[in-house]
Amino acid sequence: MPEINAERVLADLHALRSVAAYKTGVHRPTLSAAHIVSLQWLEAELGAIGHETKIDGIANVFGFAPVSGPKILAGSHLESQNHAGWLDGPLGIVYALEAARAIHADPAFANCGVDVVSCCDEEGHFGSFLGSRSAVGELDDTALDAAKDRTNGKRMRDALAAAGFAGKPRHVVDPKRYIGFLEAHIEQGDWLIVKDLTIGIVTTIVGIRQYRITFEGFQNHAGTTRMAIRRDAGAALVRLAAEVDATFPAMAAPGTVWTVGRIDVTPGAPSVIPGHAEMLLQTRDPDNQVLDRLEAAVTKLVGDANSNGPCKVSIEQTRRTEPAVMAPLLMDAIRDAAEAHVPGRHQDMPSGAGHDAMVFSRHMPSSMLFVPSIGGISHHWTENTSDADIVMGARVFVDAAARLLKAAR
């Protein structure tokens, strides 16, 4: 079987870290100078093993194995969240690169190959999975024209032009070329680490529903307005959010999560009764039936709040992402490889976060491999995984790819 080079895997990850170091993490926003350096680094590494390479018109990096036999597409992303962790993205890129090298170097796999893709902006600085959607042909030019950096408002077109990618075509992959798409990623939660497991085999990427709940009251003087006649939009929001907190646990599945990530109370002055308030509620679960149940529950709470007064409450769904089911063929290969290297120390699990594999799964069989996150920390510069787990993850990933290629050979 193809062998990985553990030192090279760690060295590659540290090379990418050093491009954009921030404390023990990195700051490598999409199309920042550091991000572009990392794309060029990947292109050079792929070129070094004889892959045909390109960085396309949306800054996706591709490396195509010049072989006639079975091929796998593997990859992830290279940009980071602002001031975030060093492995979120690069881990999947380095595993894919290592798989391409190991397969390339193994004479038994002479006609097989691993194509590598780095999908631009998985972290959503400019939009939602723009790079992978472009790679599967789901992104039209109008959507790309409209994309702007959420941090500084800069147009993605301008950022691409500044990086020298303007006018380049955007490559769309041919699903028929591949057995499927494989992506490795840090878990970003603590399911693996608390159970002392090494490998997660992703079965589903959760569906996401997001709601804006709006409360219209009446702004008035906080000293002179009796409690009985107030129409306090902030108080109405607190009551509804507390009811969500109280009722959701009984109807959620064990892995369901829900979050009120944003609360806005207007005008926000200590002596003024809020006249307007908004909250964003997000629910995630692999099972649409669970999400339907929670949606019905919060819709009823909103209706009850409206009936009971004193504020007008409304709910609007602002996002709906369907759960993405991973392919048994690929899951089996990851599970078999994990059982071979870390017997009993793996589990099937859903992904609570969205990933490029979610986009690819709509066009070809896809699955993901997770490695443990220390403390379950994610989107923070303290995010980390032990070297031992990083290396074992690479070993299982490359073995899984080899098993798939061998079976198709």
Phi/psi for 119 (5° steps) reads -90, 125
Tokens encoding 318: 């602002």
- The half-sphere exposure of 25 on its side-chain side, counting CA atoms within 13 A, is 21
Tokens representing residue 282 in the block: 């997000």
DSSP one-letter string for 299-311: HHHHHHHHHH-SS
Nearer to its own copies, 319 or 409 (CB): 319
Candidate ranges 37-45, 176-184, 256-264, 309-317; the one touching its own copies (CB under 8 A) = 256-264
CB of 171 to its own copies, least distance (A): 29
Contact range with its own copies by CB under 8 A, out of 98-106, 171-179, 186-194, 305-313: 186-194
Among 46, 153, 86, which residue's Cα sits nearest to residue 381?
86
- Phi first, then psi, for residue 52 (nearest 5°) are -80, 125
Choose the binding region for its own copies from 23-31, 272-280, 294-302, 330-338 (rule: CB under 8 A). 272-280
Task: Restricting to residues 296-325, name those near its own copies by CB under 8 A.
Answer: 319
For the CB of residue 244, give the shortest distance to its own copies in the complex, in Å.
9
Is residue 358 within the footprint of its own copies (CB under 8 A)?
A: no
Q: Among residues 17, 284, 395, 403, which is the contact residue for its own copies, using CB under 8 A? A: 284
Q: Choose, by CB under 8 A, the member of 8, 168, 239, 362 that binds its own copies.
A: 239
8 A C-beta contact, residue 373 and residue 384: yes
User: Residue 139 is which amino acid?
Assistant: L
Shortest distance, position 224 Cβ to its own copies, whole Å: 4
Stretch that binds its own copies, among 52-60, 138-146, 239-247, 398-406 (CB under 8 A): 239-247
Q: How far is the CB of 372 from its own copies (least distance, A)?
A: 12
Of 33, 108, 269, 388, which one interacts with its own copies (CB under 8 A)?
269
Contact call for residues 108 and 403 (beta carbons, < 8 A): no
As measured in angstroms, the least distance from the Cβ of 367 to its own copies is 17
Burial environment of residue 153 by CB neighbours within 10 A (0 to 12, 13 to 18, 19 or more):
exposed
- Residue of the chain from 18, 151, 259, 308 that contacts its own copies (CB under 8 A): 259
CB of 47 to its own copies, least distance (A): 34
> CB-wise, 40 or 259, nearer to its own copies?
259
- Residue from 214, 215, 220, 191 nearest 203 by CA: 191
Residues contacting residue 35 through CB under 8 Å, at least 6 positions apart: 20, 28, 29, 59, 78, 79
**Cis check: omega of the bond before 267, within 30 degrees of 0:** yes
**Helices 6-18/387-408 angle, 10° precision:** 120
Q: Which is nearer to its own copies, 180 or 207 (CB)?
A: 207
Those residues with Cβ within 8 angstroms of residue 84's Cβ, 6 or more apart along the chain or in another chain: 25, 26, 27, 379, 380, 381, 383
Contact characters 78-97, its own copies, x per CB under 8 A: --------------------
Half-sphere exposure of 306 (CA within 13 A, CB side): 12
User: E strand or H helix at 346, and its extent?
Assistant: strand 346-351
Binding segment toward its own copies, per CB under 8 A, in 52-60, 301-309, 327-335, 375-383: 375-383
Please report the DSSP string for 197-265 in residue order.
-SEEEEEEEPEEEEEEEEEE---EETTTS-GGG---HHHHHHHHHHHHHHHHHHHS-TT-EEEEEEEEE
Length of the chain counted residue by residue:
409
Contact call for residue 255 and its own copies (CB under 8 A): yes
Q: Is 128 in the site for its own copies (CB under 8 A)?
A: no
When the beta carbons of 54 and 379 are compared against its own copies, the nearer one is 379
Q: Which token pair is 192?
A: 């693996």
Among 10, 21, 280, 342, binds its own copies (CB under 8 A): 280
Q: Which stretch binds its own copies (CB under 8 A): 98-106, 171-179, 357-365, 372-380?
A: 372-380
Total residues at the site for its own copies (CB under 8 A)? 60
Identify residues 20-49 at the interface with its own copies (CB under 8 A): none
Q: Tell me the closest approach of the beta carbon of residue 203 to its own copies, in angstroms.
A: 15
Binding to its own copies (CB under 8 A) within 206-225 occurs at 206, 208, 210, 219-225
Q: Helix axis angle, 90-105 relative to 33-48, nearest 10°?
A: 10
- The yes or no reply on residue 148 touching its own copies (CB under 8 A) is no
Report the interface residues with its own copies, using CB under 8 A. 187-191, 206, 208, 210, 219-227, 229, 232, 234-235, 238-239, 241-242, 245, 249, 252, 255-265, 268-274, 280, 282, 284, 319, 351-354, 373, 376-380
